[in-house]
A and B are shown apart, each in its own frame.
Chain A
Amino acid sequence: MKTRKLIRSIRDQLDAHGRQQRARRKAMRKVVRRIEGRESELEKSLEKTSGDRKRKAIKKELAVLRAQRKKGVRLLREIKSAGV
């Protein structure tokens, strides 16, 4: 484990672009996870909500979150396939 960490650290020092891409992927994963969390909160809230207007508002927000999550997953795949 320590050796792997050392190798990773040396690689980071030498490969600035790779380091940036890895940082980008890490941040992206964090944001996508946050969106997923918010999605599941809203889905639970939708089950408990009655009233057309409120349900419509929650559905709208869910639609936006789904679109953002799908975009995030697609971007993560692109970064991964770029060899990072």
Chain B
Amino acid sequence: MLPTAAEAVGELMARRILLPSIFIILTYGFWVSPDFKEIAAGVAIFLFGMLSLEEGFKAFTGGTLERLLHRTTDRLWKSVSFGIVTTTLMQSSSLVSVITISFLSAGLISLAAGIGIVFGANLGTTTGAWLVAGFGLKVKLSAYAMPMLVFGVVLIFQKPKVLKGLGWVLTGVGFLFLGIHHMKEGFESFKQAIELTDYAIPGYRGLFIFAAVGILATVVMQSSHATLVLTLTALASGQVTYENGLALAIGSNVGTTITAILGSIGANAQGRRLAGAHLIFNLVTGGVAIASIHPLIRIVDGFSAQVGIAADDYTLKLAAFHSLFNLLGISLMLPFIGLLERWLCRVFPAPVLRYKKPRYLNQASIEHPDAAIEAVRKETDRLYGHAAATIAHGLGLRRELVLSDAPLEQVIETSDRTLGEDLDERYELNTKSLHAAIIEFISYKQEGLTRAQSDELFELRTACREIVAAVKDVKHLQRNLRVFVGSDNDDIRRAYDAIRLHIAMVLRELEMVRSAHDRTTTLLTLDHVKVSVAEEDVIASGVLDQMIREGRITASMATSLIKDSGYAQEVCSNLIAACQTLYAVRDLALREAERDLLLTDSEIGAVAVAGGR
């Protein structure tokens, strides 16, 4: 789940080299030019504004965005539209990409839907350029920024989550405006000292060099938005030429894929496939934009003339160019999404799983609470599956027969009575390792959860504990089972066969619940399984007393049977309790209502005694 040692070392080395280099360059820049200081401060304030916006939107994304994501990704056009709209609103394609990778890794959306969202996010992000070019550069933004910051900070200190979130959003927008203002001021003053257009490089050479600068700037700042705003402010003050500005915009588009690639480092195969799709889309879009830059410029000029954009308003024209080449990229790539998906699945194959490794728990799925919970739920379901197989083997039964329609008495009768399967090794390899991975994952995801989400994770952790406890009880049970299932004493042999039958019956019932598509009554359905468990209690049913009285079993056999009946009851109770958590209906109100109606132990006992009359 966490980055491997090699990945961690790589990241550490990059940080050790990159970070000091950035500091050295910045320090030198500040020493040489106070205007550079203002521009850099503007960028820093702008980036902080984006962080604040992300923080603000997280407050609103607890549930709403995820429900929307589920409903709007069943068709490709819906996925693309979702990407466009959410990125336009949040002004951060990185946040949308990270959420998408997180959901994809947890298996909540398909790869095609994820690719559609990423394509849409690329187009949605171009609205930022329109906002800055159309509004941001034409007015005194600091006049708007100051009150926003004040009101935003006041709201941040409020207790309600919604107000806090709103505060962060307002503060974020305020910082964005302030950042743009300082970048503008910085470039205006910078012009007095140095004319960057003297260093403009015409032609395709300039195109490639400035595209590379755009990529580098985006990689360093981790934000294509920041690079684009920097480009727009530089263009507005005449510090870069229009053609070089277009190249910077193309470069920023390509550079943004680095965020997605970094985000996929801790992801599973699906997450890496999405990052691959993102990279391919941006590379293709960038390549097409560079190759057809002159026709694109002509189209932009024509469009600008139509909509009333002045011929020398290069900032708006750059915004139009940015939207146009992303739209072109979507039009080119959309028909090939199926092909892309198949190719990505070939290049990033899902690893052949060994039972001991988790499938859904990874760095990407931990990023978002709902994705993390779903990942834990799926992994716990997987843990249950392995535990059920281990339990069946521990009882000397073949799992596929236990879960089939064959009469269980027959399955028991024809089963392996040597019970040769070593449960310890199975337990260590399959159950214990998965359990440990789930616990570790949950322990890392403790922050940023609502009360309901925390409770859900706690219940899932309890379910894991119940499943593992069931396996351990079968390990204890197996000791005497080995002795008595092959015994000459018919009564004790039948008593232990009854224990195996009892547990097998519960496994079968639970598997039916597990594979049921309609989960609307599973919580209550398990009550009748509990009644069956209560009926099989040899002590409560008086069967044991009768066998002892009639001398059919020895006292020593009786004590073993009492103990092992207890283990069997615990195995069944734990498995049922775990399934009640795992396969309960998702709607919170319905789940609470079903919980209220679950029969208590005494009510179960009463129904068992009444015997279904």
Contact = CB atoms under 8 A, between A and B. Distances in A.
Interface of A: 23-24, 26-28, 30-32, 34-35, 38, 56, 59-64, 67-68, 71-72, 75
B528 A60 contact: yes
A61 B524 contact: no
A61 B613 CA distance: 11
A34 B607 CA distance: 20
A68 B612 contact: no
B521 A59 contact: no
Nearest to A60: B612
B511 interface: no
B72 interface: no
Given A31-B524, A59-B612, A71 B607 contact: no
A56 to B, nearest CB: 6
Given A56-B612, A60-B612, A63-B610, A68 B524 contact: yes
B597 A71 contact: yes
Nearest to A72: B597
B194 interface: no
A28 B596 contact: yes
B277 to A, nearest CB: 41
Interface in B575-613: 587, 589-590, 592-594, 596-599, 603, 606-607, 610-613
Given A34-B521, A60-B612, A27 B527 contact: no
Given A24-B592, A38-B521, A63 B612 contact: yes
A24 B603 contact: no
A27 B596 CA distance: 11
Given A31-B594, A67-B607, A60 B524 contact: no
B589 A27 contact: yes
A35 B521 CA distance: 8
Nearest to A32: B597
B532 interface: yes
Contacts of A24: 589, 592-593
A60 B606 CA distance: 12
Given A60-B531, A67-B607, A31 B599 contact: no
Contacts of B603: 67, 71
B593 A28 contact: yes
Contacts of B606: 67
A39 B432 CA distance: 41
A12 to B, nearest CB: 14
A60 B597 contact: no
A62 B607 CA distance: 10
Given A38-B521, A56-B612, A59-B613, A31 B597 contact: yes
B590 to A, nearest CB: 5
A27 B592 contact: yes
B294 to A, nearest CB: 60
A71 B358 CA distance: 41
B142 interface: no
